[in-house]
């Protein structure tokens, strides 16, 4: 418990020291600003040249020129054609054939489903035959 108080006292003293040095620096800065007023420099008129009031016409500033450079085109390395291995060709050919077979089977299945007709009378007769008790 005593160690905590010692640590807190040290931290507090460090914070207080920083605060006081900050205040002193702010006071020094305020004195520097007050002691040196800006002195306007007056240019003595040249002798022999009469002073005339010249009217200055404001020169319009040109609008800023935006220069844009085209983005550099990234050069893509040329594609080197290479021969596809025989194994890859066989696998691709087999995949195409499987897809064709599947499409044919689906169309055949659809034609069978479309031609199917349900006869209720025949279904009742067959159900009665299947459910009759054995002797």
Judged by phi (left if over 0) then psi (alpha if -120 to 50, else beta), residue 81 lies in beta
Residue 48, pLDDT score:
60
Mean pLDDT of 41-61: 65
Please state the length of the chain. 135
Exposure class string for 12-46: b at 16+ Cβ within 10 A, else e: eeeeeeeeeeeeeeeeeeeeeeeeeeeeeeeeeee
Per cent of the chain over pLDDT 70 is 82
Torsion (CA) 80, 81, 84, 85 in degrees, nearest 10? -60
Which stretch of 15-19, 46-50, 66-70 has the lowest confidence by average pLDDT?
A: 46-50
Q: Which of 39, 33, 123 is nearest to 131 (CA)?
A: 123
- pLDDT band with cut points at 50, 70 and 90 for residue 43: low
Residue recorded with tokens 């007023």: 37
Residue 92, pLDDT score:
93
Compute the mean pLDDT over every residue in the chain, rounded to the nearest whole number.
82
Residue 42, pLDDT score:
66
């Amino acid at each position: 418990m005593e160690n905590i108080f010692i640590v807190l006292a040290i931290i507090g003293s460090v914070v207080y020291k920083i605060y006081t040095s900050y205040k002193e620096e702010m006071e020094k800065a305020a004195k520097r600003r007050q002691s040196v007023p800006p002195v306007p420099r007056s240019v003595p008129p040249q002798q022999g040249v009469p002073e005339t009031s010249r009217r200055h016409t404001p020169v319009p500033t040109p609008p800023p020129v935006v220069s844009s450079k085209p983005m550099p085109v990234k050069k893509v390395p040329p594609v080197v054609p290479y021969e596809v291995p025989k194994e890859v060709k066989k696998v691709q050919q087999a995949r195409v054939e499987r897809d064709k077979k599947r499409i044919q089977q689906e169309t055949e299945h659809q034609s069978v489903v479309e031609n199917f007709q349900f006869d209720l009378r025949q279904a009742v007769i067959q159900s009665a035959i299947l459910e009759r008790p054995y002797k």
